[in-house]
Chains A and B, each alone.
Chain A
Amino acid sequence: MSGHDTLPPLWRLNVYRLALFVAAMLGWHVLTQSKILPPFFFGEPLKVFAQIWKWFSSGSIYPHLAITLLETMLAFFGGTLLGLVAGLWLGLKPTASALLSPYLKALNSMPRLILAPIFAVWFGLGLWSKVALGISIVFFLVFFNVYHGVREVNPVVLANARMLGASKRQLLRMVYVPSAMTWVFASLHNAVGMAFVGAVIGEYLGSVKGIGYLILEAEGIFDINAVLGGVITLTLFAYGLDMIVTWAERRLLRWQPN
């Protein structure tokens, strides 16, 4: 752990991080201005940021952003809730889980994105086909983690709670759920990103609104700067959501060392 105590203080770290970003942008700028990288394929940072600025200052991006975020949120919360309930239930029912486990594993190993056309047929080209795609991805992530979390509950803690007089419901609330939360949060970081993937890929494959649609439209007229602008906007929002998850994790898992 010798690297640990030589870590610079946070403010200096942040200065370095900013410097790294500026250097990367500068490199991109110089490489595309000097035509070493063709701007037609690689875009130009100034134009990309100008595009983002134009979207936000004119407000034209908001309806698209709103719909993509709504799809993401619905997929994230819906998938998490379903995964939580299913994971708890199957974790506590050995027979049901033995019965279903090969099917669940098969469903999980199926590349979910190929379901997008099916969902489009079932739910139309609007919001719900994207939400369904997102849920189908998020659900399994959370489900398997909760399932393991329930199975991995410390048997001594469980026996102790039973001896103290816990009913079945109290065991669930006081032991199983808090114990599984560690595992749930481990999966939620991935789930946020995956909920975005579901929403944007869904939009990309067929929609009339959303950031994915915006990217598709820009691609259609070879506007690489707008494509990259969309990608960067998405990245920022996904990062923001991940920070919210981290914040919730810190609050809810306060009992853990470090």
Chain B
Amino acid sequence: MSAPAVVLRDISCTFPPSSRGGQPYTAVRDVSLTIADGEFVSVVGPTGCGKSTLLNVTAGLLTPSTGSVDIFGESLSGLNRRAGYMFQAEALMPWRTAIQNVMAGLEMRGIDPVESRTRATEWLSRVGLRGRGDAYLHQLSGGMRKRVALAQILILEPQILLMDEPFGALDVQTRQLMENELLALWSANRKSVIFITHDLEEAISMSDRVVVMSAGPASRPIGEFPIDLPRPRDVAEIRLTPEFLKIHAAIWETMRDEVLKGYQQHERA
């Protein structure tokens, strides 16, 4: 068997206090997590539980205070070159058109511009943006910008996809559309995915496995649930099946107290 795509071993991240006299903040403590090659794993948890911190560690953007990261059996140092990262916030370059954004990664790798353009055009139509390549970002809707971001990452064919609440800002219909499209793209060419969300339904409907995190600070996984629903799935329809509801109830049982805790901490802060 080949090495797992991602192994997080005893990861802790402590940040220095933001003001003098403040307390250092431990976002996550002793987190161990393994993602198999081609596996779609969602990480859910209450607001402020350090989900993004884990993703930044896996991406190599953040060095953990303790613990280690292995990517396909190799210890990670520096940026994770095998990973594509889809950020929660707008991350595209607004001074570039849609197609120039999709081409950016190829341009950085020194690939011939003509070929880059051909491939970017292909990817734009694959994410449903045929003919919109020359639009600037402010001319596109939020959903379209997410599609551009997706194409920008997938064109580089990363083996690992890191997604930080990528569809959080979208309306429900657009969101389900994007979820289905992501699943279709993923099934065609299975990468390992770490999908961060606070939406349990989204997590269950898309993943092979759901990891539940405790409320922060010093957040850690408190439950893992395999999702053995059949694929291909339609994220809207699958939510109505009894199997889905059973899994949802089981996970929610574990999550409820943590969400409540997270909410109270949020209120206090």
Contact = CB atoms under 8 A, between A and B. Distances in A.
Q: Do A and B come from one complex?
A: yes
Contact of A255 (B84, B136, B156): B136
A163 B104 contact: no
Nearest to A165: B108
Nearest to A257: B138
Contact of B137 (A167, A175, A255): A255
Given A159-B61, A159-B87, A255-B137, A165 B93 contact: no
B155 to A, nearest CB: 10
B92 A157 contact: yes
Contacts of A179: 95
Contact of B93 (A162, A167, A175): A175
Nearest to A155: B89
B152 A164 contact: yes
Contacts of B136: 254-255
A156 B91 CA distance: 5
Contact of A157 (B81, B93, B105, B108): B93
Interface string B80-94: 010111010111111
B79 interface: yes
Given A166-B108, A167-B108, A255-B136, A178 B87 contact: no
Nearest to A163: B85
A163 B136 CA distance: 22
Nearest to B104: A164
A161 B61 CA distance: 12
A160 interface: yes
B91 A160 contact: yes
Contacts of B107: 174
Contacts of A257: 138
Interface residue tally of chain A, by bracket? 20 to 34
Contacts of A181: 95
A254 B136 CA distance: 9
Kindly name the residue among A174, A181, A255, A256 whose own CB sees the greatest number of chain B CB atoms within 10 A.
Answer: A255
A96 B96 CA distance: 31
Contact of B61 (A157, A163, A175): A163
A162 B96 CA distance: 16
A33 interface: no
Interface string A156-192: 1101111111110010001100110100000000000
29 contacts: A156-B91, A157-B90, A157-B91, A159-B61, A159-B85, A160-B87, A160-B92, A161-B93, A161-B104, A162-B79, A163-B79, A163-B83, A163-B85, A164-B104, A164-B105, A164-B152, A164-B153, A165-B81, A165-B109, A165-B156, A166-B104, A174-B107, A174-B108, A175-B93, A178-B93, A179-B95, A253-B95, A256-B94, A257-B138
Which 9 A-B residue pairs are closest in the complex by CB-CB distance?
A160-B91, A164-B105, A178-B95, A257-B138, A163-B85, A255-B95, A255-B136, A156-B89, A165-B108
